[in-house]
Structure 1
Amino acid sequence: MELKKYKLGDVADIVNGATPSTHNSENYDGSIIWITPKDLSGQKQKIIRRGQRNISEIGFNNCSAQMIPPYNILMSSRAPIGLLAINENECCTNQGFKNLVLDKSICDTDYMYYYLQFHMKEIEALGSGTTFKEISKSALQGIEIRLPDLEKQRDIAKCLSDLDRKIELNKQINDNLEAMAKQLYDYWFVQFDFPNEEGKPYKSSGGAMVWNEKLKREIPEGWYAENICKIANILSGGTPSKAVDEYWNNGTIPFFGPTDCNGSVFQIKTADHITQKGLEHCASSLFEEGIVIITARGSIGKLVIVGTPMAMNQSCYALQSKEGEYEYLYFLTTQLIDCLKAKGSGSVFKSIIASDIEHSTLCVATENVVSDFCKKVKPLFEKLKTNTIEIAELTKQRDELLPLLMNGQAMVHSN
């Protein structure tokens, strides 16, 4: 594959961002899309449509931000360097960006997105500063890049984009599947309109409700005010010594930590792996599929369901359903987290300990209602898990293809 040399400044105008004064409310909540690094850090796909907050025309005119036409590259240039996205709509950004408005007669937007992603470590190394690293406009402009012809760029970008589109579609399907299961859970266990013996909604049809002093509210007759240990066992994790190579080298057992959470319901992949020896020399068991993990330190209060056997570190707790029905346990645990947040004065709390879980009283349903719910939503969770496995496989395929395509070691043949 023949490659032509350019400077990045030859193929793109580097456009800065800015922030209007936050002391003037007239600068905000207008119609101009305004992106910050925070908008990209929570983003799981390459296309961004809008940010959390817009600015007004007054705000835009009162700062040095520049408009970026649709379908160009947004790149954070500090704290951190290298968050990337393609803007679907015309927008501007704050000062944490150096954005690339591309010469599209030379380079394809999608290709440049993947090219920059592939070379991001080299770009990050150009950052300077003491408090935090920042990459300058001149440093970006001077980066040497090598591009194939435009048609070849489009062929390569299409191959990678097709994989990204399928990944994104699966994520959207999973979001819908989770929302459907959550809606049914809320209907049954929050509104108490689970089907009665006649198949009618329990509470709305006059089902018996009794006052519960512990919960300070009415709950269905026969239900419990208990902690989550009524239906689950609490299990803990541990980390084998990092100083012993045979616990880690060539490990094949996924080893979960809070930073592995990526927003998926099911956890399939982990960054670290341990060996069988490592498993034997740490406090963690090998947790089977269907166990619910709560992150207790670091990224606190995140939940995942074990999708493939794995161990976990000491910054987490695992909840093992006593009846093996994890679907109800998963949503009940989300209520537990809400309860803990309320005790901790909002969404910020430093850690979770076992006694927090044991001393949190929840409304727990009867076994027959739980079993009926799990049967209803099981197909949704099975499909959700299947999609998550496919996402992991497609992501691996894309990440393996990226360097091969960029280096010309693999070729894409267009029809």
Structure 2
Amino acid sequence: MLADKLRKSVLQSAIQGKLTEQLATDDKVEDLLQAIEEEKELLIKEKKIKKQKPLPEITEEEIPFAIPENWKWVRLGEIGKIIGGGTPKTTNLEYWQNGKIAWITPADMKNIKGKYISCGKKNITLLGLEKSSAQLLPKGSILFSSRAPIGYVAIAREEVSTNQGFKSIVPFSLNLSLYLYYVLLGMVDIIKKLGTGTTFKEVSGSVVEKILVPLPPLAEQKRIVEKLDNVLANIDELKANEEKLSILQKNFPDKLKKSILQSAIQGKLTEQLATDDKVEDLLQAIKEEKECLIKEKKIKKQKTLPEITEDEIPFAIPENWKWVRLGEVILLNMGQSPNSEDVGNDGIEFHQGKIYFTDEIIGFSDKYCSKPKKISNANEILLSVRAPVGEVNLNNREICIGRGLASIKIINSEERYFFYLLFYCKKIFEKKSTGTTFKAISKDIIENLLIPLPPLAEQKRIVEKLDKLLADIEELKI
């Protein structure tokens, strides 16, 4: 996203001294380093910290980029104490129960807003602190996650402790906290490259203390922080807008598709023509075809479906259309799973559910059935009837179907019209589905589905229009 790129660029400019003006009135950075050294010596004298062994001299090869003349490269350990963390034994309730000391993990840092953190999901007790390697960090400490992942940064608003996933920095002068927070944010990519490990990358305390940071005079640090506070707030707003736009762009094609399908089945997408046959003629032809199949003993006589009541009708349709129940105009074949010993590498391709469904025509299964109980033929529509319900695909070959599927044979109508219609009806099937372990729809639910039936000629016009429009919508997807 543009906002993320801008954020990186701005932080990089800031720590290179390109975001603010260097002023001749600023104190020398050496004065700041002297004050830090004096503060460090005082802490050693008061036995608050131990005397450090000298850190390696900075070599020319280590310096990653140029900085202004009145800045200085220093190692992080020169200007702050690096402190790890720890986890009290989790089975000892005395270390956790009624704890008052905030205990932070990298997971607590993931979604914090702003610079500061004051607590995590858990607290520890004073005994837990004393009996573990966790340490109490003063207000103003900079928490830096050193593993899983490397690079979360926040400033402690209050005294806190952390688990072992941190190498936190306690600046010898707390005036440095805000600037160092931004420096670490700007150098996360550099620090990540210093990580080692196989299961996950980690930076050790000895690595963190040797990290080079560019140090400006204190006055310029304040200008940098003020500038970044302002600029990054604007970038955060940009990011929020980008994320909203991204969601809109992602959802727009699906919403548009749903809207177009709704227009199609309401008769608003195509023109109704006086030259079309009456829909009653189509219904009569379907009835006659069914009677013929019953006479030939290819299908059994269906039970009469309930009359359609006025209360059931969800929206108005054109005069030459008719509301019917799905079972009146199709032949429904509910899947039945074969015996497990009959499923293997031989026989007819076997589909148990929607696992091989695509956007349109069902893909090929790697399972076969030697003794199928239920068959779906080419030019039939496959409907998933359980876990999940309502997904549809077209079938272009003979396959064996298990009880997760139903096959719908279209009679004297346009197959793709019913494909689009059933696609639109997914939400209806979901609402009507029943079950606790998983949701399913029965034969009765499918056959009783109320559908709008246009004349055959208009079905074909609708399909032609939808094929073109939905192909265009697919190109909008990102």
Same fold (TM > 0.5): no
Question: Which structure's CA Rg is the greater one?
Answer: 2
